[in-house]
Amino acid sequence: MKLKKYKNNPILKPNPTNEWESLAVCNPGVWYENGKFYMLYRAAGHDLTHYVHFGLAISEDGFNFERVSKKPVLSPSPDGPDAGCVEDPRIVKYGDIFYITYAYRAYPPGQYWNKNKIKTYEPNENMPVCLKENITNSGLLMSKDLIHFKRLGRITKANLDDRDVILFPEKINGKYVMLHRPMQWVGPKYGCEYPSIWISFSEDLMVWEESKLLAKAEYEWETKIGGSTPPIKTEEGWLTLYHAVDKKGIYRVGAMLLDLKDPTIIIARTKEFIMEPEYEYETKGIYNGCVFPTGNVVVDGILYIYYGAADMYCCVATIELEAILEYLTRNKI
């Protein structure tokens, strides 16, 4: 089974008239409500420091998007912990408030694809490790309109490179649930050879209980894996997509079903990938050979999967929800 990529991908490209998004737009979080698709996307310009921002675009059909502003809707804070970049939003909504998890750094990462990238900060021995190594942490935003935001702060441990942080769209057994991927949690102590997907629970979204290993690399196309899209509640279980990186650095996509009452239990998992880089917009860019889902919505029985391609473009693929669920139930663990 493979996802069907939209024939007119990419659906959002860099905009040369706006410097802050002139180089790359990718890894969008998407929400559907009242007949409209809202896409919160990661964007960067050609500056050598590589500051990363969020833009917002809206669509009525899920394919043709229009930007809402010539300015970012969120940028790195002037002097806060996310002063270097804001990246990879994943969106859920509790009541009338959006909650967006996002990755950030204290200093801009520089052009990470460039071997001669400039240094954007000067570490010293007295800095905490998150500053000394410019580690990627993950934070939480609140918003009522996806245009104005309140930063709530870090929800991962400061000394971990921890991203792919994704919230479930509702509480389970009275608690919020989070997926995340701590890069340093590898080895015999953690039960995984490569960075993997972990799960944790919280009473208040900010203080999280001890994490449990949820999923690790199992197949030839997987080494490092991480969660991709906010889980979707179905009768069969929580449907969630994940990404996997092989030994050559190629990003592909798989899917899992988690138990509705106990999401620490994997009911089913795809043994083969359901999407891989194929077209030039996925194989040639800032990162060659990358498809990276960060948003999904279900409209009229169709699952729309929004993904970043080659760290440069926003794209979409679709599949009937029933079809992917049927495929997964044939791969029960």
Does any domain span residue 184?
Answer: yes
pLDDT: is 266 or 121 the higher one? 266
Give yes or no for a contact between 39 and 57, defined as CB atoms under 8 angstroms apart.
Answer: yes
Place of tokens 């359901």: 274
CATH number at residue 195: 2.115.10.20
What residues make up the domain containing 223?
11-329
- Of 85-89, 129-133, 191-195, 281-285, the range with the lowest mean pLDDT is 129-133
pLDDT for 264 beyond 90 = yes
Instruction: List pLDDT tens digits, range 174-203.
Output: 999 999 999 999 999 999 999 999 999 999
Please report the pLDDT score of residue 6 as a whole number: 98
Instruction: List pLDDT tens digits, range 39-79.
Output: 999 999 999 999 999 999 999 999 999 999 999 999 999 99
Number of domains in the chain: 1
Query: What is the chain's mean pLDDT, rounded?
Result: 97
Does any domain span residue 1?
Answer: no
Does any domain span residue 5?
Answer: no
Please report the pLDDT score of residue 119 as a whole number: 86
Instruction: List pLDDT tens digits, range 98-144.
Output: 999 999 999 999 999 988 888 898 999 899 999 999 999 999 999 99
Does any domain span residue 19?
Answer: yes
Please report the pLDDT score of residue 325 as a whole number: 97
Does any domain span residue 296?
Answer: yes
Buried b (16+ CB within 10 A) or exposed e, 202-218: beebeebeebeebbbbe
Q: Which two tokens stand for residue 213?
A: 């290993």
pLDDT for 86 beyond 80 = yes
Please report the pLDDT score of residue 331 as a whole number: 78
Please report the pLDDT score of residue 333 as a whole number: 74
Instruction: List pLDDT tens digits, range 241-256.
Output: 999 999 999 999 999 9
Does any domain span residue 4?
Answer: no
Please report the pLDDT score of residue 115 as a whole number: 84
Does any domain span residue 257?
Answer: yes
Does any domain span residue 40?
Answer: yes
Give yes or no for a contact between 258 and 268, defined as CB atoms under 8 angstroms apart.
Answer: no
If DSSP states are collapsed to H, E and C, what string results for the chain?
Answer: CCCEECCCCCCECCCCCCHHHCCEEEEEEEEEECCEEEEEEEEECCCCCCCEEEEEEEECCCCCCEECCCCCCECCCCCCCCCCEEEEEEEEEECCEEEEEEEEECCCCCCCCCCCCCCCCCCCCCCCHHHHCCCCEEEEEEECCCCCCEEEEECCCCCCCEEEEEECCCCECCEEEEEEEECCCCECCCCECCCCEEEEEECCCCCECCCEEEECCCCCCCCCEEECCCCEEECCEEEEEEEEECCCCCEEEEEEEECCCCCCCEEEECCCCCECCCCHHHHCCCCCCCEEEEEEEEECCEEEEEEEECCCEEEEEEEEHHHHHHHHHCCEC
